[in-house]
Amino acid sequence: MRVNAYLSRAGIASRRRADELVRAGRVRVNGELASLHTLVGAHDVVEVDGRRVALEPLAYVLLHKPAGVVTTARDPQRRRTVVDLVPRKPRVVPVGRLDLDTTGALLLTNDGALAHRLAHPRYEVPKVYEAEVEGVPGPEALAALREGVELDDGETAPAEARLVATRDETSLLELTLHEGRKHQVKRMCAAVGHPVRRLHRKSYAGLTLDGLRPGESRPLAPAEVRRLRELVGLA
């Protein structure tokens, strides 16, 4: 693996921060200064500022993200992040993002290969959302969500959409997406005339929040990890 991925798996820094360490000449592999393209094998010795570092074990954590928590490893504004809600060791980072006010299922891991494929639209990983929207979407709005909505960055892929319930002046929609554009559910619903008031991701790649209250997390079972890897062709 590349040296930045190695340092990330070792819990030293994010890949971006690891690149900065390499550029600053603080990383050596087998006694030689590393470059951004240096590859690290199983028997290589990696040092940062003269201290040897080693890989941490792979970890996979499912978090029930509460509202008001930032989906990032660290925040310049010093707001609470999703990493603050899970065990510190091994170091894990979120796969994809949920908006500050969005709640629900979020996977964190230090398995870079798996995280990359789960986030890539090519693998069409299913994400199921519950959206409380303004008004009552009619057949035309639901059909548009199912067939694809034209947004400023292009038409969305077809989604599964159904009206779950209506109450007063709002409705509850369930949407299943297989891509992950920024603010996608909110933008899609707004485009068909029904802005989102509240958004919750009830499942991610088949992982549900059964038994997890907001802010709680759990490690994935080995069978769940195997299924995720099979889902994206890493079995």
Per-position DSSP letters for 222-234, written without gaps between them: HHHHHHHHHHTT-
Q: Tell me, what amino acid is at 109?
A: T
User: Which residues are designated catalytic?
Assistant: 99
Residue 24, Cβ density class (10 Å: 0-12 exposed, 13-18 middle, ≥19 buried): exposed
What pLDDT does residue 168 have? Answer: 85
Q: Of 63, 58, 1, 66, which Cα lies nearest the Cα of 34?
A: 1
Q: Of 119, 116, 115, 112, which Cα lies nearest the Cα of 4?
A: 112
Q: Over the stretch 44-90, which tens digit does the pLDDT of each residue have?
A: 999 999 999 998 899 999 999 999 999 988 888 889 999 999 998 88
The mean pLDDT of 14-22, rounded to a whole number, is: 90
Q: Evaluate the omega torsion of the peptide bond into residue 139 and state whether it is cis, within 30 degrees of 0.
A: no
Are the C-beta atoms of residues 134 and 194 closer than 8 Å to each other? yes
Q: Over the stretch 123-165, which tens digit does the pLDDT of each residue have?
A: 999 999 999 999 999 999 999 999 999 999 999 999 999 999 9
Per-position DSSP letters for the chain, written without gaps between them: -BHHHHHHHTTS--HHHHHHHHHTT-EEETTEEP-TT-B--TT--EEETTEEE-PPPP-EEEEEEPTT-BSSS--TT---BGGGGS-SSS--EESS---TT-EEEEEEES-HHHHHHHHSGGG---EEEEEEEES---HHHHHHHHH--EETTEEPPP-EEEEEEEETTEEEEEEEES---TTHHHHHHHHTT--EEEEEEEEETTEE-TT--TT-EEEPPHHHHHHHHHHTT--
The mean pLDDT of 11-15, rounded to a whole number, is: 83
What pLDDT does residue 51 have? Answer: 95
What pLDDT does residue 56 have? Answer: 87
What pLDDT does residue 59 have? Answer: 95
pLDDT at 235 over 80: no
Are the C-beta atoms of residues 65 and 106 closer than 8 Å to each other? yes
Q: Which residues pair with 53 in a beta bridge?
A: 46
What pLDDT does residue 97 have? Answer: 92
What pLDDT does residue 169 have? Answer: 92
Instruction: Give dist(CA 220, CA 235) in Å, integer.
Output: 16
Which residues in the chain are classed under CATH 3.30.70.1560? Answer: 126-204
Which residues in the chain are classed under CATH 3.10.290.10? Answer: 3-53
CATH 3.30.413.10 fits 126-204, yes or no: no
Which residues in the chain are classed under CATH 3.30.70.580? Answer: 60-121+206-231
| CA 202 from centre of chain | 14
Q: Tell me, what amino acid is at 18?
A: A
Q: Tell me, what amino acid is at 101?
A: D
pLDDT at 3 over 90: yes
What pLDDT does residue 113 have? Answer: 87
Q: Out of 3.30.10.20, 3.10.290.10, 3.40.50.720, 3.40.50.620, select the CATH number for domain 3-53.
A: 3.10.290.10
Q: Over the stretch 96-116, which tens digit does the pLDDT of each residue have?
A: 999 999 999 999 999 988 998
What pLDDT does residue 118 have? Answer: 94
The CATH architecture to which 60-121+206-231 belongs is 2-Layer Sandwich (3.30)
